[in-house]
Structure 1
Amino acid sequence: MNSGTKEAPLASLNGARNTIRAHKITSSKRQSYTVIVENGNYTMKEPFELAPEDSGTEKFPITYKAAKNAAPVFSGGKTITGFSVNEKGIWEVKITESVYYKWQFDQLYVNGKRAVLARTPNEGFLEIDSVQQNIWEKGNSRVAKKAQQKLFFEKDMFESLSPITEDEVREVRFKAYHKWDYTLRHIDALDKDSLLITTSGKGMKPWNQIKKGGRIVFENYKAALDTPGEWFLSKKGILYYVPRPNETLENTTVVAPVLEQLVLIKGNALQDNYVKNIHFEGLNFEYCHYEIPKTGSEPNQAAAILNAAIYAEGVKNITFSNCEISKTGQHALWFGKGCSNSLVENTYMHDLGGGGVYLGDFKPLKGKEHTHHININNNIIQSGGLEFPPAVGVWVGHSSDNKVTHNDIGNFYYTGVSVGWVWGYKPSLAKRNTIAYNHIHHIGWDLLSDMAGIYTLGESEGTRIENNVIHDIHAYSYGGWGMYADEGSTGIVFKNNLVYHTKTGGFQQNYGKENIVKNNILAYAKRYQLQCNIPEKHESFAFTNNIVIFNEGMVLKGGWNDVIARIDQNIYWNSNGKKYDFNGHTFKNWQKKEFDLHSLLVNPNFKDPLNADFRFINKKNYTKINFIPFDYSKSGVYGDNEWVEKAKLPISVTQNFDNTVQENMKLKK
């Protein structure tokens, strides 16, 4: 075994860790350790695991870093070789491990690009005609413990499923999209005469069921393998792939992810046995597998049941800087229970099956197991939810005093940043979180509903959402807000945010208490500029000193007639010159309800708002409502030009988003 010097380097991170462990035992003096990783691609045969004995100290930390000008890559994948081309032009190879050891994988990458598991339809969705549920075991909650669902289809919709053979049925999966979530299940049986499939698992959630007209896709059967970029692995261990244009056997690399976790940092907070003072710098991690359970994946908001490629628990002062995490089947990075005083900065997370960074736990863990003071700063978190669409860019569960700042979060299907994990007014530990100076954009597409750029839940006193730029937020049907204070959101300040190009409003509050919405620019929502759902007997929010500009849709929609709120000193401007609809009221009648008594219907005099230039030509009107201009150009990532340019989504993605929005708006959903 090599000693770990430059002349005799170690072969793996685990080898370096073991060398440091051994040296600590024999060394009489305390010292820092730096593991320098030279350029190269390193295949990981097992996760890199760190325990309390691998800790550094505040004065003498342990650092794992890339060599100067190097970008080492740690891969949890296996390269698949030996393909041949069959008579249909499809590539195929028999994988020995799959034949003899039943190795299966649920993601595949070709030339670094995520391939598509064979599916039907290739574009869009099939439509469900009707759904029947048989409850087998009710259990103690509103959701039945065990149940069977029967999904019926019209004949033309069912046709694409008819080639499924009897021995394939139980390998076939479906993905049904409903409201803010989706159901991923295997099929129990397929009845070609009755045009139905049966599946079983938990009962459907009464508040979010699969229904008639619901959208669904089917995957993982050979007959669906009919489009370039699709793949299928048979039970006999034969991998099939339909090549994309210009892909040849000679110029193509195929990688199947193997490891389900790449890095595991695990201490025990309850026993004061933390992993501490370890830094990662300039390391790239890729190809991390997520195995779809045989039970599938029941609906779960924010895809919070997934694991993460890099998972930490019971840690203090752990940092990731200038790293990269990509090509995952699950979330990129999760600071679970008992984590504190840690940092993720200048890190690029992309091509993610799940979300970006998750903080805290689902349960309100107090004391030593409570996660707090994590700083997520200046990261690019893009193109996520590719396997699990409900995943989010940054998720803050029962966790407090975190800072999520200057990140670029884009191209997700559900929500950019989610804060809080309590529905209603039950105890919440998501307090004093700061979500500031982020650029959150191109979220939602037309896949899920009830979503937002920034989403909050529960009592979150001291939480501040400020100086963010949020734009291009769209939903399949209802929802698609810039900032969304959902059930029980309390004590949150929404200030100095620029929100534009949303579907149903710059701000929406379902119900909550004593939130402050102040000094924001809310522009060009398509249907409603502001929404409010459930009036309560306490003050729901204050909406003051804001500028609302639009050229279509209503000003207000929802429960405004009975809401208890302080609404005043705002500017509303309809740039197309048409009427102002305040939830069915004219502005004059709206003011008779004691709202907006000192507000104005005047042009705020932005330079070029239709082209997202919200600087002011003059101060003539905004000073009348005591609006204070803020520099929204400071939002998003900062640093050298290469880093700033990397945060820009490809034009093909943004154009596709725009086209998707246009088509969705024609549906009148």
Structure 2
Amino acid sequence: MVLLPLACRAETLHVAPAGSANGACEASSPCTLQAAQAKVRALRIQGHDDITVQLQDGTYRLQQPLQFDAADSGAKGRPVRWQAAPGAHPVLSGARLLQGTREGALWRFALPAGDAPSSVYVDDRRRWPARTAACPHCVVDAKGLSNVPPAILHALQVSSLAVMHERWRDFRCRVVALGRGRVDLAQPCWHNVTLDSAKNGWSVASPVGKYYAGVDWFENLAGDPSTSGSYTVDAVQRVLSYRPSPEEATRAPSIELPVLEQLLVLKGTLKAPVHDLVFSGITFAGTEWRKPKSGDGYVSLQAGYLVDGNSRTALPDNGEGMTRTGRAVDVEAGRDIVFDRDSFRQLAAAGIALAGGTHGAAVTNSRFTDLGGGAVFVGDTEGHPADPAGKTSDVVVADNRIDHVALAYRDNVAIMAGFVNGLEIAHNTLSDLPYSGISVGWGWDYEGDAPVESAIHIVANRIERVMLQLADGGAIYTQAQSTPDTSCVLRNAIDMRHSGEGNGIYLDEHSTYFDVEHNVVLGSWVSAWASWSGHLRIVGNWTDTAGKPHNPGPTKLWSPNFTGLKTLPAAALAIQRAAGARIGHPRPGLPIRVPPACPKQ
């Protein structure tokens, strides 16, 4: 008999929703997720480097987020695999199943302590809080809103939310006082909503700007819901009242109540990163996000970048010093972390963020739908960190299907990148979005003259039905200065014919050193309006529009392109066929590296 060294022995641990904390983590005696995590740590200390944790079928209702750090890491190039058991579909959920009672036509649920939920689920379908009609004639003042109609005012309570949008920005502020024909809104939320900036003039897209069209609606209302499929919360009695739809009325009253704000947090340090982990076949679901109901509220500058805090005299001119939309899964200071064939659904805010000095990460072959915020965030808000290792790099986002996200926070983007060196966004299929599809290089253009990003490769994505609610965005949206000869937008299939107001490819503001080649752009075209953008090659693209150069500029190459097409040539049709998520594409191997040069044509 040949005895294998410990490092060569494969170890498989088995977990189950009803597993025991004292279980052996074997198929016949599964353990809990937390017990498996402890065993993985012990095995790694003993030198094992081939470890798989198999999650059996069912819903794992977390009482707190799973927290991973450097001690949970695999061996270099030999990751610990947390994956679905064969044929299983495990769900990590932050929601509680509540049983209610009937009271006439309503269902009543006693709520645990906490704020009113931003949404609940019945029969796996999201249900929103009851809303008022729009208030187009609400008048803005320093404390809140006046000229609120009696019918709307009667439906409100302290803790209701005012929801509105202007152009590319979205806002939510809590009601703190009700008066005669008016409401006062939480501070600093309302102060920051109406604030301007020194350079950009952001107030044009705010309630004090020329595009103000009133309040979209108020939610978190008093009284009983009048519309089927909606609910209200009595903030004093802590009772949720739900009006079931006719097909729901005969069933036993129950709802899924999201409670946790996060499900999985991987947090290393620059000196001790969390590394070599794979999460595969897992569904992440059932989160809440409470920040919009706080005093800070939800004040977006753009694309899920949020303005918080008191005593602001002006809005920031870039992404630094801002926060981002909450997310269910966070990776900070990670190395070679992979999420493959996972599912993100029924989340109050965003899906996953890969940031904070993460070097080597991938999100592949995954599904994102029914999210309150965006799907994937990559990179950092600081363009030039004091420690260069704090700049995220080498991230792959590929072969994912993303649709019906940013349902609550409408300015969020499906795939959003801050400052990052080495990012491949390839072969994703994106659709049905209120704002932009892919955005890179945020924030904006006030980080000096040195590049803030490099090797940004946006390749072979399929994007349609975007910009459905907000304005001034695009299917693919770039910002900021890249390192020369490293960044490109290639072979994407974009169809804006059923979209709202927006650009097919939007090279905004200080977008510099991007090649835009061999893209099919229908129903729209490429915009590079700013005179301070430049060193752009926009050539070899196909469009059914006139395709006129937008602010040509001395360093922008706009020809040849194929414009005004009634039918697409064979080469363009081949681009369309090849774009989008590929079925069964293998996940990237470790280590994850994005080459500095763009892929060849």
- TM-score scaled by structure 1? 0.74
Q: Deviations over 1:172-217 (max 9, x none)?
A: 111111110121101233333xx33332423423323204533421
| 1:279 equivalenced with 2:265 (yes/no) | no
8 A contact 2:492–2:575 mirrored in 1: no
Q: Find the aligned partners of 2:219 and 2:391 in 1 and give their Cα distance.
A: 40
Q: Secondary structure, in 3 states, of the residue corresponding to 2:216? A: strand
Alignment size in residue pairs? 522
Matched, 1:175 2:196: no
Distance 1:497 1:513 in 2: 19
1:210 corresponds to 2:207: yes
- In the alignment, residue 228 of structure 2 is paired with which amino acid? P
Q: Is the 8 A contact 2:67 2:266 kept in 1?
A: yes
How far the C-alpha of 1:493 sits from its partner, in A, is 1.1
CA distance in 1, matches of 2:572, 2:326: 43
CA shift for structure 1 position 349 = 1.1
On the 8 A contact 2:132/2:219 being kept in 1, the answer is yes
1:545 aligned partner: 560
Identical amino acids, percent of aligned pairs? 23
Paired residue for 1:632, among 576, 581, 584?
576
Which has the greater radius of gyration? 1
For 1:568, the equivalent position in structure 2 comes to none
- 2:359 maps to what in 1? 340
Q: What CA distance in whole angstroms lies between the structure 1 residues aligned with 2:522 and 2:445? A: 28
> Retained in 2: the 8 A contact 1:75–1:286?
yes
* Cα deviation, residue 103, structure 1: 5.7
Aligned residue identity for 1:469: A
RCO higher in 1 or 2 (8 Å CA, sep ≥ 6)? Answer: 2
Q: CA deviation at 1:129?
A: 4.9
- The structure with the greater share of residues assigned to helix is 1
1:84–1:93 Cα contact (<8 Å) kept? no
Name 2:589's counterpart in structure 1: none
State the shift of 1:325 in Å.
1.0
1:198 aligned onto 2:184: yes
Offset at residue 355 of structure 1 (A): 0.4
- Gap regions ≥5 residues in structure 2: 1-21, 197-201, 306-323, 586-601
Cα deviation, residue 55, structure 1: 0.6
Residue equivalent to 2:233? 233
1:404 to 425, 440, 450: 425
Corresponding letter in the other structure for 1:282: G
2-side partners of 1:17 and 1:308: how far apart?
A: 22
Structure 2 distance, partners of 1:520, 1:313, is 37
RMSD after superposition:
2.4
Give the drift of 1:224.
Answer: 7.5
Q: Aligned partner of 1:119: which letter?
A: R
The DSSP-based 3-state class of the residue aligned with 1:432 is strand
Question: What is the Cα deviation at residue 545 of structure 1?
Answer: 1.6
Contact 1:481 1:508 in 2 (8 A): no
Gaps (5+ residues) in structure 1?
Answer: 134-147, 550-603, 607-613, 617-626, 642-669
Q: Output aligned runs, 1:391-430, within 5 Å.
A: 391-424=412-445, 426-427=447-448, 428-430=451-453
The CA deviation string for residues 296-349 of structure 1, in whole angstroms up to 9 with x for no partner, is: 111231113212101000111111111111111111010011111111111111
Q: Distance in 1 between matches of 2:110 and 2:326?
A: 30
Matched, 1:294 2:294: yes
Would the aligned equivalents of 2:519 and 2:540 in 1 still touch at CA under 8 Å? yes
Deviation at 1:540, TM superposition (A): 4.8
Q: Is 2:139 the partner of 1:185?
A: no
Q: Give yes or no for the alignment of 1:468 onto 2:492.
A: yes
Q: Write out the 4+ residue segments of structure 1 that deviate beyond 6 Å after TM superposition.
A: 473-476
Is 1:358 the counterpart of 2:377 in the alignment? Answer: yes
Distance in structure 2 (CA, Å) of the matches to 1:523 and 1:425: 35
Given candidates 609, 615, 625, the residue that maps to 2:569 is 615
1:444 aligned residue = 467
Contact 2:345 2:368 in 1 (8 A): yes
Distance 1:640 1:369, change over 3 A: closer
Q: Counterparts of 1:68-217 in structure 2 under 5 Å? A: 68-86=86-104, 89-95=105-111, 97=112, 101-102=113-114, 104-121=116-133, 125-133=134-142, 148=143, 150-153=144-147, 158-164=149-155, 168=157, 170-192=158-180, 195-199=181-185, 200-201=187-188, 202-203=191-192, 204-206=194-196, 207=202, 208-211=205-208, 212-217=212-217
With structure 2 as the length reference, what TM-score do the two structures score?
0.82
1:65 to 79, 83, 92: 83
Deviation sequence 1:387-436 (CA, Å, 0-9, x none): 11011011110112110000011111111000111433634422221011
Report if aligned partners of 1:178, 1:215 keep a CA contact under 8 Å in 2: no
How many angstroms does 1:529 deviate by? 5.1
Q: For 1:17-58, what per-residue CA distance to the aligned partner results, in whole angstroms no more than 9, with x for missing partners?
A: 111112334x2x433111111111221111111110111112
Question: Take 2:125 and 2:544, find their aligned partners in 1: how far apart are those partners?
Answer: 36
